Amino acid sequence: MNRHHYLCQGCAQPLFVVATTQAGKPDLRWEIDHQDEGNRGCSVLPLLPLLGEATQPEALEYAMDVLSPLRR
């Protein structure tokens, strides 16, 4: 299990990102949601939790709507 850190594009609050490896599959299973479940006013709340299988979270459907651009 790996952890990545992103901010929510809707409310700028931190997101937790959990990636679970799958035996025999190159894709990881992702679960992305607010760390604080109290963000009722967040504009992307209908898209959360963001679930899916991909090699990286940016490849998930709606990822570009939810994940803020990576800070360098």
In sign, the C-alpha dihedral spanning 57, 61, 67, 70 is positive
Q: Which of residues 38-67 bind Zn ion (CB under 5 A)?
A: 39, 42
Residue from 8, 19, 32, 63 touching Zn ion (CB under 5 A): that is: 8
Residue 11 binding Zn ion, by CB under 5 A:
yes
Residue 32 binding Zn ion, by CB under 5 A:
no
Q: How far apart, in whole angstroms, are the C-alpha atoms of residue 57 and residue 64?
A: 9
Cis omega (within 30 of 0) for bond into 49 = yes
Q: How many residues line the site for Zn ion (CB under 5 A)?
A: 5
Which residues here bind Zn ion, judged by CB under 5 A? 8, 10-11, 39, 42
